[in-house]
């Protein structure tokens, strides 16, 4: 083992996992160890896993087996640490099934990663008081809460990440300031349920108040809100967005379904009618807003009539982006034991039908932006050296991008005249 062990992080799953990995990486960077980007240069790989659904768990297991079966044996002394959601969900069962993994670090113990590395490497970590995050690119995720108090019948998040806990507003402000000072120009607020922010705080702070605090920070930047549950889209929050100079006119509202019987079975509220009324209220305050949602089809008991109602709702609602998932029966959830399980082939067929419709509508919505001038955050260049970025209506990783015709600076904003749309992507000329 070299005198300065090298640590590499491999992250699977959602943006919340990316924040967790980044915080662990920042701790490593402020220790006697060093960070490397390539596993081939590392002595330890920390695999931060996802286990939200069966497919994600299978991907995590496959990656772990590749590391233990191919990467680690290629050089003496290599170690594999499996962190995150998979050890949180499966615990001792996972450790017994994968003895070749050197250590497991569940979500609740990620702050103790350096102690785990010390025990594996026999090299003192010698941590110092460094940054809480590593230097970001133009966009950085800012996690404002942990866990979830909802009990949706299909969801494993409360089991994996525990009860809902808001991060103290001062800590969120400090981390935001640190990211901005290091070069971030868009902060994306994430959490399992960010609309619940502040409900557990004694000072009366809520998401609208947090937005106001972040809005007052210095610098040329913008804010984006993701994963805002429908009951959290209050008039107070909408007015905070409307009155802000920083917050993108963009909301990601995961509705999951539109048929009331299916929503009740899921442990959620609402109906097609109440959803449409919510969207009308949002658009009355923010006429130019971009809207994303997530829906699930094939939930136990979903009838052909329920599916048709969901399909009709999406056609009427006019979302810019729709994420579609086929229901996955997850071990330990209430939904997995419900009667009326829909056959997997029907789940997949319904999901694909919705995706096709969502793609067609999304392309239409993108084409409507041709001729407008958009403020675009320049993110980088593609493999051909062409610049690309994102408008306020394009969230990182899940929506389209904007291809740039002209000269602009990576990490800065530029005004672009949108001249074309290709699917979800836009093409803009610098003006």
Identify whether the C-beta of residue 354 lies closer than 8 Å to the C-beta of residue 314: yes
Alpha-carbon distances, residue 348 vs 58, 355, 360 (angstroms): 18, 10, 18
Contacts of 54 (CB under 8 A, 6+ apart): 328, 330
Please compute Rg for the chain using Cα positions: 22
d(Cα 102, Cα 88) in Å, to the nearest integer?
16
Domains and CATH numbers, the chain: 6-121 (3.40.50.12160), 139-367 (3.80.30.20), 373-430 (2.40.50.140)
DSSP 74: G
d(Cα 246, Cα 18) in Å, to the nearest integer?
23
Buried b / exposed e along 75-86 (16+ C-beta atoms within 10 A): eeebbbbbbbbb
d(Cα 11, Cα 35) in Å, to the nearest integer?
14
At 78-92, the pLDDT tens digits run 999 999 899 988 888
At 4-54, the pLDDT tens digits run 899 999 999 888 889 999 999 999 998 989 999 999 999 999 999 998 888
Q: Could you write out the DSSP letters of every residue in 131-189?
A: -SSPPP-SEEEEE-EE------TT--HHHHH-S-EEPPHHHHHHHHHHHHHTT--EEEE
Mean pLDDT of the chain: 92
At 150-205, the pLDDT tens digits run 889 998 888 888 889 999 999 999 999 999 999 999 999 999 889 999 998 888 89
Alpha-carbon distances, residue 252 vs 75, 171, 226 (angstroms): 45, 24, 5
Report residue 377: phi and psi, to 5°. Answer: -85, 120
CA 132 to chain centre: 19
Res 392: pLDDT:
95
Res 127: pLDDT:
84
Res 51: pLDDT:
85
Contacts of 34 (CB under 8 A, 6+ apart): 4, 5, 6, 7, 28
Identify whether the C-beta of residue 413 lies closer than 8 Å to the C-beta of residue 377: yes
Res 162: pLDDT:
84
In three-state form (DSSP H/G/I as H, E/B as E, the rest C), the secondary structure along 173-214 is HHHHHHHHHCCCCEEEEECCCHHHCCCCCCCCCCHHHHHHHH
Res 324: pLDDT:
95
Report residue 380: phi and psi, to 5°. Answer: 165, -160
Taking 70 as the pLDDT cut, the residues of the chain under it are 1-2
């Amino acid at each position: 083992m070299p005198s300065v062990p090298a640590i590499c992080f491999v992250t699977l799953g959602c943006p919340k996992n990316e924040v967790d990995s980044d915080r662990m990486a920042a701790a490593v960077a402020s220790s006697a160890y060093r960070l490397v980007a390539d596993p081939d240069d590392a002595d330890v790989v920390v695999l931060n896993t996802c286990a939200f659904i069966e497919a994600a768990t299978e991907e995590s297991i496959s990656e772990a087996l590749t590391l233990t079966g191919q990467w680690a044996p290629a050089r003496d002394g290599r170690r594999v640490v499996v962190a995150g959601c998979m050890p949180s969900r499966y615990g001792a069962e996972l450790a017994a099934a994968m003895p070749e993994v050197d250590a497991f670090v569940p979500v609740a113990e990620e702050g103790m990663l350096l102690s785990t590395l010390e025990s594996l490497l026999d090299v003192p970590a010698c941590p110092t008081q460094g940054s809480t995050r590593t230097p970001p690119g133009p966009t950085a995720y800012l996690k404002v809460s942990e866990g979830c108090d909802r009990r949706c019948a299909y969801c494993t998040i409360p089991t994996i990440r525990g009860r809902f806990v808001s991060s103290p507003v001062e800590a969120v402000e400090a981390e935001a300031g640190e990211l901005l000072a290091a070069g971030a120009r868009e902060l994306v607020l994430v959490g399992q349920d960010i609309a619940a922010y502040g409900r557990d705080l004694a000072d009366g702070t809520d998401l609208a108040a947090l937005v106001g605090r972040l809005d007052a920070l210095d610098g040329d930047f913008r804010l984006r809100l993701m994963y805002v549950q429908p009951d959290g889209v209050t008039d107070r929050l909408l007015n905070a967005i409307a009155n802000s100079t920083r917050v993108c006119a963009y909301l990601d509202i995961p509705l999951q379904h539109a048929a009331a019987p299916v929503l009740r079975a899921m442990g959620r509220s609402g109906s097609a009618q109440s959803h449409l009324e919510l969207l009308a209220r949002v658009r009355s305050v923010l006429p130019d807003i971009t809207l994303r949602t997530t829906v699930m089809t094939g939930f136990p008991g979903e009838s052909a009539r329920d599916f048709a109602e969901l399909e009709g709702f999406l056609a009427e609602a006019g979302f810019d982006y729709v994420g579609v998932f086929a229901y996955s029966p997850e071990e330990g959830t209430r939904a997995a034991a419900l009667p009326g399980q829909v056959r997997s082939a029907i789940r997949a067929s319904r999901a694909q039908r919705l995706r096709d419709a969502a793609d067609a509508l999304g392309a239409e919505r993108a084409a409507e932006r041709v001729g407008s001038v958009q403020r675009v955050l320049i993110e980088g260049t593609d493999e051909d050296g062409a610049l690309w970025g994102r408008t306020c209506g394009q969230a990182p990783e899940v929506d389209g991008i904007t291809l740039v015709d002209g000269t602009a600076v990576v990490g800065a904003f530029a005004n672009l005249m949108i001249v074309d749309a290709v699917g979800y992507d836009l093409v803009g000329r610098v003006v």
